[in-house]
Amino acid sequence: MPTASSPPASAELIPGIGFRIIETIERPPADLARELGMFPTPDISDEMNRMYAMNSSIRPYSDPDLRLIGPACTVKVFPGDNLMVHKSLDIARPGDVVVVDASSSTMNAVLGDTISMKARHRGIAGFVIDGLVRDVPAIRRLGDFPVFARGITPIGPLHRGPGELNYPVSVGGIVVNPGDLIVAEEAGIVVVPRESIGAILASLRAKAAGHKEYMANVIAGKFSNAWVDDVLRFNGVTVGPDVP
């Protein structure tokens, strides 16, 4: 029974929603994920009706030339706390992308160079953080470890919890489920739902040759804007008189 000197009930961590872990998730076939990840993120976004790209404020803080491709190991943390980010190093498999929902917090960092080095040793592909990171110069010195985040701060995290591992999260305005494919580069970050990877890849393959030919013609100056007039006429554009 609580006493006058007991901490309030709100200080307790309660098992269940908000403090739980799933250790095993379903991942997409590695060959399909790897091939899809070689396409530019704008092309992948187009195939998803421009609906599954993260907010552009989440950007690379490591070498911007690095691409990050892999299935999502999802982490939800209390803003400013990274206990579950540490635990993700035991749950994620080599090649996974750890995707952290820190509620877009602009207070404490939830990642730094130490966790990045540990993750690199475990074979984790990289991090996407809807929150802040620190130790950016040291992360960049790692050379080949991609880290994407909303911003930087020198303020370190707490390590208390609660948090969740491998449950749906919201990162950069997009719901990410465990096992969804993350493709991140300087051009942006897209999330391909795991069950749609085959269909998206098939569509990209089918259009690749035509897109290559079209771009070659544009580079050579061979193109027509007739389609613009077609759209304007179809939508009933009004063309006013010439300015006197």
Cα-to-chain-centroid distance, residue 77: 16
Quickly count: other Cβ atoms within 10 Å of residue 178's Cβ: 23
| Confidence label for 213 from pLDDT (cuts 50, 70 and 90) | confident
Using an 8 Å Cβ cutoff, are 134 and 153 in contact?
A: yes
Helix (H) or strand (E) holding 169, with range, is strand 169-171
For the chain, what is the mean pLDDT?
Answer: 94
Nearest by Cα to 17 from 59, 62, 67, 76: 76
Domains and their CATH numbers in the chain: 14-202 (3.50.30.40)
For the chain, give the percent of residues with pLDDT over 90. 87
Is the per-residue pLDDT at 36 higher than 90? yes
Name the residue with tokens 């193109």. 223
Is the per-residue pLDDT at 244 higher than 70? no
**In this structure, are strands 68-77 and 163-165 parallel, antiparallel, or unpaired?**
antiparallel
pLDDT (0 to 100) of residue 31: 95
Name the residue with tokens 């470890």. 145
pLDDT (0 to 100) of residue 138: 97
Q: For residue 60, report the phi and psi dihedrals to the nearest 5 degrees.
A: -70, 140
pLDDT (0 to 100) of residue 78: 95
Give me the mean pLDDT over the 104-133 stretch: 97
**In this structure, are strands 181-185 and 174-176 parallel, antiparallel, or unpaired?**
unpaired
Give me the mean pLDDT over the 27-55 stretch: 96
Give tens-digit pLDDT for 150-168: 999 999 999 999 999 999 9
How many whole angstroms separate alpha carbon 121 and alpha carbon 137? 19
How many whole angstroms separate alpha carbon 195 and alpha carbon 187? 24
pLDDT (0 to 100) of residue 9: 64
pLDDT (0 to 100) of residue 8: 66
> What is the radius of gyration, based on Cα positions, of the chain?
22
